[in-house]
Amino acid sequence: MIRTRFAPSPTGFMHIGNLRSALFAYLIAKHDDGKFVLRIEDTDQSRYELGAEEFIYKVLKEFSLYYDEGPNIGGDFGPYVQSERLEIYQKYAEKLVKEGYAYYCFCSEEVLSNERMEATEAGKTYVYPGTCRDLSEEEIQKKINNKEKYVIRQKMPQKGTTSYHDLVYGDIIVENKELEDQILIKSDGYPTYNFANVIDDALMNITHVTRGCEYLSSTPKYILLYEALRLEVPNFIHLPLVVKQNGEKISKRNKDENVIDLLNNGFLPEAIINYLALLGWSPKDNKEFFSLEELVKLFDINNIHTNSAYYDIKKLEWFNKHYIMEMNDEEYLDFVLPYLEKAYDISKKSTDWVNSLLLAYKKHISFGSEIALVTHTFFESNVSLEDDCLKYLRSNDQIPPILKFYQKEIQNIADWNRENIATAIENVKNGIGVSGELLYMPIRVAISGMMHGIDLIDVIYLLGKEKVLERLNF
């Protein structure tokens, strides 16, 4: 049975790159009726952020990425939080030391910092020189008795190569001399990300490890750990990076596109999932819209790309707009109304008026909170004309007479409805002899302050007679 895992760190709130990783791990498992496991990797205590763990549970639930095993639901291979597994890591680290695959390192952070600085000044990449690699047992014991702080480092072979086959990138071969003696257990007793991953993946029977392609060249370190501990090596699936338009990697440290911010702004989970599935993967045909269930059926590891995937908010908006348009009117109104209520006081507006306003913009918004941006003219006492609008209204000598004529037609309307509003416009057309853009655009700009938007008759009707007359006196 295929078993995959999503192993986030609670060091910040999930961004779209994290969610894409969770989605791919989920799809790989579920495509073959496998198990999807959640593991919390909280070994970096210095960067732990309060509330981030609960946020992870919330996000996965929101996007219907239901896991089969995890911290808050249990399973046969728990505990699923790394800080609760410290004794396990210590046991395996000591085993590696005993069998000669790891060693105690007593180098102080001050010494290491100086060495890094010297390497940087010399234009070189710093690699730990193995200072403590060959200490005698007597020297080690003396330092331990003196209560000197130490870490446990992996002892890398200094000759030969280590290779593995990645299911996306193919065969990867690395010279062992390029592999640094990485730290396995830190001085505070916590394991490093690299070491805990190997132990947990092996003990949790993870068959397919998904991770970003930035780990391609360091995976041989993991392979050597598996082999030294005589643990079964899993399949590796390295995923293309999700990067911003400038090529920078999406990152929690840079506060990039928080998933919950997208949800709060009215991006739909199904639209986000659909879009993220296509960041680094493509179906065999040209279809673009998929439900999560369809993605499970179609997802094929062989169709994962090797090139970086570019995150484009405009493309996500395009996907989201499609899903908004797919809603029936009742679903749409329930979805978008809270965003209008948050932005404006609608307590004195009738339900019919509010629903008419919202439905008029159904084809015009790409995310929920955008409704507040596009409807502001209906809640402002006066319209503020931008320079381009003023320039347009002064661009043709016919425009002032058109607006004056229309103002009189509006004043004569006794029953305020769309039919009479349309008749008033038709009277301007016949009375002055104008049509097309020259007829409609001056009225739109004068009463709404916008060059484009929803149907003009809807704009006039929703603004109301009094406000339209007031704005025609610009």
- pLDDT over 90 (residue 389): no
Inter-residue contact 389 to 443 (CB < 8 Å): no
Q: Are residues 403 and 445 in the same domain?
A: yes
What is the span of the domain harbouring residue 47?
1-70+195-326
pLDDT given for residue 254 in this prediction:
46
pLDDT given for residue 384 in this prediction:
77
Q: Are residues 206 and 307 in the same domain?
A: yes
In a domain, 429, yes or no: yes
pLDDT given for residue 248 in this prediction:
77
In a domain, 307, yes or no: yes
Instruction: Tell me the pTM.
Output: 0.90
- pLDDT over 70 (residue 9): yes
CA–CA dist 251, 258 (Å, integer) = 10
What's the mean pLDDT in 229-239? 97
In a domain, 162, yes or no: no
Q: Which of 252, 362, 363, 391 is catalytic?
A: 252
Is 314 assigned a catalytic role? no
Please count the structural domains in the chain. 3
pLDDT given for residue 253 in this prediction:
52
In a domain, 148, yes or no: no
What's the mean pLDDT in 362-385? 92
Q: Are residues 312 and 338 in the same domain?
A: no
- pLDDT over 80 (residue 4): yes
pLDDT interval class at 376 (50, 70, 90):
very high
Share of the chain above pLDDT 70, in %: 97
Q: Are residues 313 and 200 in the same domain?
A: yes
In a domain, 372, yes or no: yes
pLDDT given for residue 238 in this prediction:
97
Residue 53 belongs to domain with CATH number = 3.40.50.620
pLDDT given for residue 255 in this prediction:
45
What's the mean pLDDT in 385-401? 87
Give the pLDDT confidence of 303-319 residue by residue, as tens digits: 999 999 999 999 999 99
Q: Are residues 367 and 423 in the same domain?
A: no
Pick the range with the lowest mean pLDDT from 225-229, 289-293, 429-433.
429-433
- pLDDT over 70 (residue 411): yes
From 378, 407, 438, the end of a domain falls on 378
Q: Are residues 211 and 355 in the same domain?
A: no
pLDDT given for residue 70 in this prediction:
97
- pLDDT over 70 (residue 209): yes
pLDDT interval class at 285 (50, 70, 90):
confident
Residue 409 belongs to domain with CATH number = 1.10.10.350
From 326, 346, 362, the end of a domain falls on 326
Q: Are residues 238 and 302 in the same domain?
A: yes
In a domain, 283, yes or no: yes
- pLDDT over 60 (residue 222): yes
In a domain, 99, yes or no: no
Give the pLDDT confidence of 134-165 residue by residue, as tens digits: 999 999 999 999 999 999 999 999 999 999 99
Q: Are residues 298 and 354 in the same domain?
A: no
Give the pLDDT confidence of 76-107 residue by residue, as tens digits: 999 999 999 999 999 999 999 999 999 999 99
Q: Are residues 229 and 299 in the same domain?
A: yes
From 326, 341, 357, the end of a domain falls on 326
Q: Are residues 289 and 402 in the same domain?
A: no
pLDDT given for residue 10 in this prediction:
86
CA–CA dist 306, 398 (Å, integer) = 60
Give the pLDDT confidence of 255-280 residue by residue, as tens digits: 447 898 999 999 999 999 999 999 99
pLDDT interval class at 474 (50, 70, 90):
low
In a domain, 113, yes or no: no
Q: Are residues 303 and 412 in the same domain?
A: no
pLDDT given for residue 46 in this prediction:
67
CA–CA dist 218, 132 (Å, integer) = 22
Give the pLDDT confidence of 109-140 residue by residue, as tens digits: 999 999 999 989 999 889 899 999 999 999 99
Give the pLDDT confidence of 236-249 residue by residue, as tens digits: 999 999 988 777 77
In this structure, the dihedral spanned by the alpha carbons of residues 244, 245, 247 and 250, taken in order and rounded to 10 degrees, is 0
- pLDDT over 50 (residue 48): yes
Any residues with CB less than 8 A from the CB of 174 and at least 6 apart, and which? 161, 162, 163, 217, 220
Q: Are residues 53 and 10 in the same domain?
A: yes
Q: How many CB atoms lie within 10 A of CB 128?
A: 18
Any residues with CB less than 8 A from the CB of 107 and at least 6 apart, and which? 128, 131, 132
Q: How many CA atoms lie within 13 Å of 471's alpha carbon, on the beta-carbon side?
A: 25
Q: What average pLDDT does the structure give for the chain?
A: 93
pLDDT interval class at 30 (50, 70, 90):
very high
pLDDT given for residue 21 in this prediction:
95
CA–CA dist 301, 281 (Å, integer) = 8
